[in-house]
Structure 1
Amino acid sequence: MHSLPLFHRIAGERVVVVGSGGMAAAKARLVERAGGIVCAETEAHHAKLAFVALEDERAAEAAALRLKRAGLLVNVADRPELCDFTLPSILDREPVLVAISTGGASAGLAKHLRLRLEGLIPQSIGGLASGLSAMREKLRARWPDGDMRRSALDRALEEGGPLDVLQAESASHIDAWIEFGTAEDQPAIFEFILTSDDPEDLTLKQARLLGRADTVLHDPAIPEAILVRARADAQRQPLLGDEPTSGLTVILRRSI
């Protein structure tokens, strides 16, 4: 990963915006939409974040250096090499936020990926998230063990599950699922033999299980482009022997 994705809460916090015109106005609107208070550079001592939206490259670089010396994290429009953080393209399904980033390489590409997702992700997914949050204590009571609770959620939220994330009516099924849903009682192990180094050649089942896996054991020659399809926090290690496994484990081997 080129960056560590974070969601920064700025409600009620001052955020510096340096610049004028449409580019600066867009940054200010984004700050205000998230509950932040837009302020000038003169108030930088009260802020932790800053946006610099200046067309003049030298002026933008100078402003960024001043703000960084004051201890702020800075984003400079169209200058990714000067940025401490970058802005993703945002799909808002309150309280669900989907952020798409290219690390500053192409804001247009991120935008069009977001537009494609707009047509796939139902508006009701926000209700599903809120419903699961409201049922947190019931979930803990139903499945006291954290691994079993996560396994039950995975099975419910996956494609075709009772709480399928892309089905508009899933939020209305939460109560019934908590009462009658099940979790995997035993660790699950899936082994795949890959015939290609291209991640686009993964089958739907392989990609889905790789994205859910707690542990990925792999031949050392499996390329990073495939391994990054696993969860970012999944344990990944070369396949050397009979390693102990727990939770959902995916084993990747090469046919070559």
Structure 2
Amino acid sequence: MHSLPLFHRVAGQPVIVVGEGEAAAAKARLIERAGGTIVGAASKEARLAFVALDDPDEAAAALKARGLLVNVADRPDLCDFTLPSVLDRDPVLIAVSTGGASAGLAKVLRLRLEQMLPASLGRLASGLAAAREAMRRRWPEAGARRHALDAALAPGGPLDPLDQAAADRIDEWLERDSLSASQTIEITLASDDPDDLTLRQARWLGSADAILCDDNFAPQILARSRADALRLPVDAAPPADARLTLILRTG
């Protein structure tokens, strides 16, 4: 990765904008949309700054010297952070970034995603947040909750995020869903290239609680798994509390 993706909360916080014209105005609109307060370069409380000037080097350097993180319009080489193209399905935010390589490409990808993701996606997220305590009562063990939710959100599941009606099924899902038995699945991969993964293999990688593989297994494949998935030697016994254990081998 060229950057560490972060979502920075600016609601009620001062944010510096230096510049005039459409570029500066666009930054200001985005900050205000996120609840931030636009302030001048003299602010001592701000932690973020946006610079939109024809000759930004001096202004950017001065702000950085004060310890601020700075974004400079059209100058990725001067940026401490870049702004992605954002798809807003509040409270769901999907950010597409090219690290400043091509804002146009990021925008087109975001527009494609806009067509794919239903307007009800935010309502589904809010409904799941409201149901958090009910899920804890239904599945007291964290691994069991995760497995149940993974299955519900899977393609074709009762809470499939691409289904416009999914947000209306949360209560019904909580009432009738039952956990499937623990599974151990052994798969032999065609190559070390993640692009050769089948859709099913990619889905298993993304939902497995434990992964058993050799020490020298391809890191680019393991990067497709959950960051919190337990990793064990290929000859280890599957963990008793894992709902889905994958044994990975290469062909």
Q: Of residues 111, 117, 126 in structure 1, which corresponds to 2:122?
A: 126
Question: Residue 253 of structure 1 aligns to a residue in which SS?
Answer: strand
Aligned residue in 2 for 1:210? 205
Name which of structure 1's ranges 193-202 and 125-134 shifts more when overlaid on structure 2: 193-202
Aligned pair 1:170/2:166, yes or no?
yes
Aligned pair 1:35/2:35, yes or no?
yes
Give the C-alpha shift of residue 31 in structure 1: 0.3
- Give the residue type in structure 1 aligned to 2:25: A
Q: Render the CA deviation track for 1:140-174: whole Å, top value 9, x for unaligned.
A: 11111111111111111111111111100011111
Aligned residue in 1 for 2:49? 50
Question: Residue 150 of structure 2 aligns to a residue in which SS?
Answer: helix
Identity score, percent: 59
Question: Per the alignment, do residues 212 and 13 of structure 1 end up closer, same or farther by CA in structure 2, a change over 3 Å counting?
Answer: same
Question: Residue 102 of structure 1 aligns to a residue in which SS?
Answer: coil
Contact preservation (8 Å) 2:19, 2:53:
yes
Aligned pair 1:67/2:70, yes or no?
no
Contact preservation (8 Å) 2:92, 2:121:
yes
Aligned residue in 1 for 2:145? 149
Q: Distance in 2 between matches of 1:5 and 1:69?
A: 23
Aligned residue in 2 for 1:79? 75
Q: Of residues 180, 189, 198 in structure 2, which corresponds to 1:194?
A: 189
Question: Residue 148 of structure 2 aligns to a residue in which SS?
Answer: helix
Question: Per the alignment, do residues 144 and 240 of structure 1 end up closer, same or farther by CA in structure 2, a change over 3 Å counting?
Answer: closer
TM, length-normalised to structure 2: 0.90
Q: CA RMSD in A?
A: 2.0
Question: Per the alignment, do residues 155 and 29 of structure 1 end up closer, same or farther by CA in structure 2, a change over 3 Å counting?
Answer: same
Q: Distance in 2 between matches of 1:234 and 1:54?
A: 46
Q: Distance in 2 between matches of 1:19 and 1:42?
A: 13
Q: Distance in 1 between matches of 2:208 and 2:65?
A: 42
Question: Residue 17 of structure 2 aligns to a residue in which SS?
Answer: strand
Give the C-alpha shift of residue 124 in structure 1: 0.4
Question: Residue 252 of structure 1 aligns to a residue in which SS?
Answer: strand
- Give the residue type in structure 2 aligned to 1:50: A
Give the C-alpha shift of residue 7 in structure 1: 1.3
Question: Size of the alignment, in residue pairs?
Answer: 249
Q: Distance in 2 between matches of 1:235 and 1:88?
A: 31
Name which of structure 1's ranges 189-198 and 3-12 shifts more when overlaid on structure 2: 189-198
Give the C-alpha shift of residue 219 in structure 1: 4.2
- Give the residue type in structure 1 aligned to 2:8: H
Q: Render the CA deviation track for 1:30-58: whole Å, top value 9, x for unaligned.
A: 10110111111122x120111112232xx
Q: Distance in 1 between matches of 2:96 and 2:227?
A: 15
- Give the residue type in structure 2 aligned to 1:160: G
Contact preservation (8 Å) 2:14, 2:36:
yes
Question: Residue 140 of structure 2 aligns to a residue in which SS?
Answer: coil
Q: Of residues 229, 236, 239 in structure 2, which corresponds to 1:242?
A: 236
Contact preservation (8 Å) 2:18, 2:52:
yes
